[in-house]
């Protein structure tokens, strides 16, 4: 089912996309040639706001992909409870979904920039607590404490991403398609690659994952706080 589900949903999305019409009027459409593509790419890669928020997403996706890649090993081998894997994974996914829904309210009420800063502060504090617990009480730490911390971090991660993507694309409406493509390529390629390296370090302990939560969370927070544009968001 893991391998059948993606192509099944891919077909459904493809068929649904046939119902969609081009949103841009003819006068504002870009020609499909190398010159136009190169020009759009240059505009995207020279935008500092775009690069800043794309990097935030990349840093957080690194930790998310690292946990997803190593979760079965952590639960089944480091904690020796393989029968709990599906329940933990599903429960974490449910909490992540609820946190994403809460983010839609927060960003609508307080704006994307203030919301992402608050979420990143909370993210970093939870990561710091998890690091202290791991260093103080052994590696791996108590299973319940560890997964409470990881669930909070993963939920915050999923809530932060819509804000960072919106802020990254905000100044690039004229080349939104190219910006979206570059955004997805960067965070997925670099995040999954570095995440795989972190995952590979967790053969007998969870400390590499915990440290990555803290260090990359701090880096993302610094990037978010460095955006000092005077806007209402």
In DSSP notation, 49-65 reads HHHHHHHHHHHHHHHHH
Q: What is the pLDDT of residue 171?
A: 87
Average pLDDT value for the chain: 90
Q: Is residue 114 part of a domain?
A: yes
* Residue 232 predicted with pLDDT over 70: no
pLDDT digits (tens, 9 = 90+) for 106-138: 888 888 899 999 999 999 999 999 999 999 998
Q: Which of 126-130, 187-191, 216-220 bottoms out in mean pLDDT, i.e. has the lowest?
A: 187-191
Q: Is residue 50 part of a domain?
A: yes
Q: Is residue 30 part of a domain?
A: no
Cα–Cα distance for residue pair 42/95, rounded to 1 Å: 39
Q: What is the pLDDT of residue 233?
A: 47
Closest CA to 195 of 62, 60, 61: 62
Q: What is the pLDDT of residue 230?
A: 66
Kindly report the CATH number assigned to the domain that includes residue 199.
1.20.1250.20
Q: Is residue 20 part of a domain?
A: no
Q: Domain range for residue 168?
A: 46-225
pLDDT digits (tens, 9 = 90+) for 156-172: 999 999 999 999 999 88
Closest CA to 66 of 210, 215, 232, 217: 210
pLDDT digits (tens, 9 = 90+) for 27-81: 777 778 888 889 989 999 999 999 999 999 999 999 999 999 899 999 999 999 9
Q: Is residue 131 part of a domain?
A: yes
Q: Is residue 6 part of a domain?
A: no
Q: What is the 3-state secondary structure of the chain? A: CCCCHHHHHHHHHHHHHCCCCCCCCHHHCCCCCHHHHHHHHHHHHCCHHHHHHHHHHHHHHHHHHHHHHHHHHHHHHHCCCHHHHHHHHHHHHHHHHHHHHHHHHHHHHHCHHHHHHHHHHHHHHHHHHHHHHHHHHCCCCCHHHHHHHHHHHHHHHHHHHHHHHHHHHHHHHHHHHHHHHHHHHHHHHHHHHHHHHHHHCCCCCCHHHHHHHHHHHHHHHHHHHCCCCCCCC
Cα–Cα distance for residue pair 187/45, rounded to 1 Å: 14
Q: Is residue 5 part of a domain?
A: no
Q: How many domains does the chain have?
A: 1
104 pLDDT band, cuts 50/70/90, is confident
* Residue 146 predicted with pLDDT over 90: yes
Q: What is the pLDDT of residue 36?
A: 83
Q: Is residue 7 part of a domain?
A: no
């Amino acid at each position: 089912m893991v391998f059948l589900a993606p192509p099944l949903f891919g077909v459904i999305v493809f068929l649904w996309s046939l119902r969609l019409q081009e949103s841009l009027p003819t006068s504002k459409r870009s020609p499909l040639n190398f010159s136009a593509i190169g020009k759009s790419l240059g505009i995207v890669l020279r935008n500092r706001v775009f690069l800043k928020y794309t990097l935030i997403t990349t840093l957080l996706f690194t930790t998310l992909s690292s946990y997803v890649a190593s979760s079965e090993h952590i639960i089944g081998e480091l904690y020796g409870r393989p029968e709990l894997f599906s329940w933990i994974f599903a429960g974490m996914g449910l909490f992540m979904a609820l946190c994403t829904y809460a983010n839609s309210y927060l960003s609508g009420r307080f704006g994307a920039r203030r919301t992402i800063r608050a979420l990143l502060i909370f993210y970093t504090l939870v990561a710091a607590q998890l690091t202290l617990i791991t260093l103080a009480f052994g590696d791996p730490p108590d299973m319940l404490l560890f997964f409470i911390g990881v669930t909070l971090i993963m939920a915050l991660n999923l809530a932060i991403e819509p804000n960072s993507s919106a802020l990254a694309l905000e100044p690039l409406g004229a080349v939104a398609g190219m910006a979206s493509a570059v955004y997805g390529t960067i965070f997925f390629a670099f995040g999954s690659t570095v995440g795989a390296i972190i995952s590979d370090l967790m053969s007998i302990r969870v400390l590499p994952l915990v440290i990555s939560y803290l260090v990359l969370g701090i880096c993302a927070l610094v990037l978010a706080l460095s955006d000092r544009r005077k806007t209402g968001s």
